[in-house]
Amino acid sequence: MPSYTCFKAYDIRGRLGEELNATIAQRIGRAFAEVLGARRVVLGRDCRASSQELAQAVAEGLMAAGVEVLDLGLCGTEEMYFATSALAADGGIEVTASHNPMDYNGMKMVRAGSAPLDEASGLAAIRALAESGAFAPERVGGRLRAAEAVRDAFVARVLSFVDLAALRPLKIVVNAGNGAAGPTFDAIAQALAAKGAPLEFVRIQHEVDGRFPNGIPNPLLPENQPVTARAVHEAGADMGVAWDGDFDRCFFFDAEGRFVAGEYVVGLLAEVFLAKEPGAAIVHDPRVVWNTQSLVVRAGGRAIAARTGHAFLKQALRDSGAVYGGEMSAHHYFRDFMCCDSGMIPWLLVTELMGRTGLSLAKLLETRRAAFPSSGEINFRVADVAATVAQIEAVFAPRAVRRDDLDGLSLEFADWRFNLRASNTEPLLRLNVEARARQDLVDRGVAEISALIQGA
């Protein structure tokens, strides 16, 4: 029996060929339908060269199980989330490798109601059935049809988050990275213009091109950030926005072209929602927390920490009723968007905040960056993750005033803290360090912990 190593903690991701191919994709589609008892499934894909073939294979597997496949074609992952609920489907699948290298692809999956799918809620069973091939006999009635008019409804839902009357004239650089974001952004921009929104857009790397002539769209990588920063400068723009390949993450640049770290965006969006819904709960990941917690408490809200990863954040929103949840990796989740993440809603909310306050993005962030400096996520490849974490724990835990094991190892000291955790999706150890108003403590913490990791 084959072992499908493309199955990860809460999605599917693998190297094309042996780890993921049309045969495996077809078996995954069929297993998805049988495990979930699905009769209608939404299917979308990103623009990678391999995505169309894999999506067709998934559709064949679904149809063999008697499923009506509602085909979205080229779209973002969040459009699949939206359509799964809007069309009352029994589940949804997006064929995407997001920001992974060119020779990868994968799938993101949800259950009915766009609920997260992880190992406990069906992913492990899907893997076991796909590997064994012990499928039920083929069922009649399977068919593939285009899902009509979903994008217009999606655009309307996205715009419902924003008070258009609060917008003021802004020039915004948008960088789709030649990924799937371009057509969907254009639909949103067209709807904004029709409503008289005073926003001007400068598009770069906008054409959909699965060969990614400008590199894999992952704006979190420092080497990918200068192109957006330069475009902001050249255009004299007020802000820059860039997306990853399936645009479920968006990244910000201020008018000076400075990249905005994700934890500060979480704080901004928490402020936006607490102004609209005083006392609401806000979910955040446990890697960098002090800025968000400070803003939530100041605004009278309730801060809730959840494990890193979309399945965990989504479930935390569903369990708590929180209005918003954010991760420093630029995933932002919204209660009124099926508790799912969106890369289109955040930049609209930031433009609303800039309009309502009359402040630039840099000004909105200025005091927060100074009050809570952080390192950004630093990745290490190590031979033995558990042993390395144990070594760091032995050195630092005796000095800590607070410890948290929710997600990896978090140790808090008088004026600084760190989180050290294994990646859920890659063979990496990830370090984040933050402090209260002292960059020198961030620098010292990074240096000391890095030296121990590299010497392990």
**Residue 218 in contact with residue 224, Cβ under 8 Å?**
yes
The structural architecture, per CATH, of the domain 151-260 is: 3-Layer(aba) Sandwich (3.40)
Assess whether pLDDT exceeds 90 at residue 455.
no
Cα–Cα distance, 346 to 251 (Å, whole number): 9
Arithmetic mean of pLDDT, 56-63: 98
Q: Tokens at residue 38, please?
A: 């699905």
Q: What is the pLDDT of residues 269-320, one digit of tens each?
A: 999 999 999 999 999 999 999 999 999 999 999 999 999 988 899 999 999 9
Q: For domain 12-148, which CATH number applies: 1.10.760.10, 3.40.50.800, 3.40.120.10, 2.40.30.10? A: 3.40.120.10
Block residue for tokens 């760091």: 392
Q: HSE-up of 225 (CA within 13 Å, CB side)?
A: 14
Residue 121: pLDDT band (50, 70, 90) is confident
Structure confidence at residue 17 (pLDDT) = 96
Question: How confident is the model at residue 427, as a pLDDT?
Answer: 73
Question: H-helix or E-strand containing 170?
Answer: strand 170-175
Mean pLDDT for 7-16 is: 92
Is 239 in a helix, a strand, or coil?
strand
Mean pLDDT of 239-260: 97
417 Cβ partners below 8 Å, 6+ apart?
289, 290, 402, 410, 411, 433, 434, 435
What DSSP letter does each residue of 102-169 carry, written as one string? TTEEEEEEEEGGG-B--IIIIIHHHHHHHHH--PPPP-TT-EEEE-TTHHHHHHHHHHTTS-GGG---
* Rounded average pLDDT over 253-277: 96
Ramachandran region of residue 239, left (φ > 0), alpha (ψ -120 to 50) or beta? beta
Per the listing, tokens 């905005």 go with 260
Structure confidence by residue, pLDDT tens digits, 409-430: 999 999 999 999 998 767 789 9
Q: pLDDT tier at 26 (50, 70, 90 boundaries)? A: very high
pLDDT at position 119 is 85
Residue 335's pLDDT is 98
Is 210 in contact with 49 (CB distance < 8 Å)?
Answer: yes
More confident residue, 423 or 218: 218
Domain 12-148 matches domain 151-260 at the CATH topology level: yes
On the question of pLDDT at 34 being above 90, the answer is yes
Q: What pLDDT is stored for residue 310 in this prediction?
A: 87
Query: Is the pLDDT score of 105 beyond 90?
Result: yes
Q: Mean pLDDT of all residues in the chain? A: 96
In the chain, the amino acid numbered 419 is N
The question of whether 375 is a catalytic residue gets the answer no
Q: How many CB atoms lie within 10 A of CB 118?
A: 19
Does 456 have pLDDT greater than 70?
no
125 contacts 45 by C-beta, under 8 angstroms: no
CB 58 within 8 A of CB 142: no
Q: How far is CA 343 from CA 250, 329, 446, in A?
A: 5, 12, 30
Q: Specify the pLDDT at position 428.
A: 87
CA-closest candidate to residue 50, choices 210, 183, 206? 210
- Locate the domains of the chain by residue range: 12-148, 151-260, 261-341, 378-455
- Among candidate residues 51, 85, 98, 342, the one labeled active-site is 98
Residue 378: closest CA among 441, 421, 424: 421
pTM for this one?
0.95
Where are any strands of DSSP class E within 287-428? 302-305, 324-326, 332-334, 340-341, 378-380, 402-404, 409-412, 416-422
User: Which residues lie closer than 8 Å to 288 by C-beta, 6 or more apart?
Assistant: 263, 328, 374, 419, 432, 434
One-letter amino acid at 311 equals: A
Widest Cα–Cα separation across the chain = 66
- Pairing state of beta strands 104-111 and 91-95? antiparallel
- Domain 378-455 is classified in which CATH homologous superfamily? Alpha-D-phosphohexomutase, C-terminal domain (3.30.310.50)
Q: Check residues 336 and 455 and name the one with the higher pLDDT.
A: 336
CATH architecture of 261-341: 3-Layer(aba) Sandwich (3.40)
Query: d(Cα 157, Cα 340) in Å, to the nearest integer?
Result: 13
Burial of 63 (0-12, 13-18, 19+ CB in 10 A): buried
- What per-residue confidence (pLDDT) applies to 126? 98
Summarised one tens digit per residue, pLDDT across range 350-394 is: 999 999 999 999 999 999 999 999 999 999 999 899 999 999 999
Question: Residue 112 and residue 120: Cα distance in Å, rounded?
Answer: 16
> pLDDT, tens digit, for every residue of 141-190?
999 999 988 999 999 999 999 999 999 999 999 999 999 999 999 999 99
The string of DSSP codes covering 86-108 is HTT-SEEEEE--TTS-TTEEEEE
Residue 247's φ and ψ, nearest 5 degrees, are 50, 30
Q: How many residues does the chain have?
A: 456
pLDDT, tens only, 45-57: 999 999 999 999 9
Give the model's pLDDT for residue 425. Answer: 64
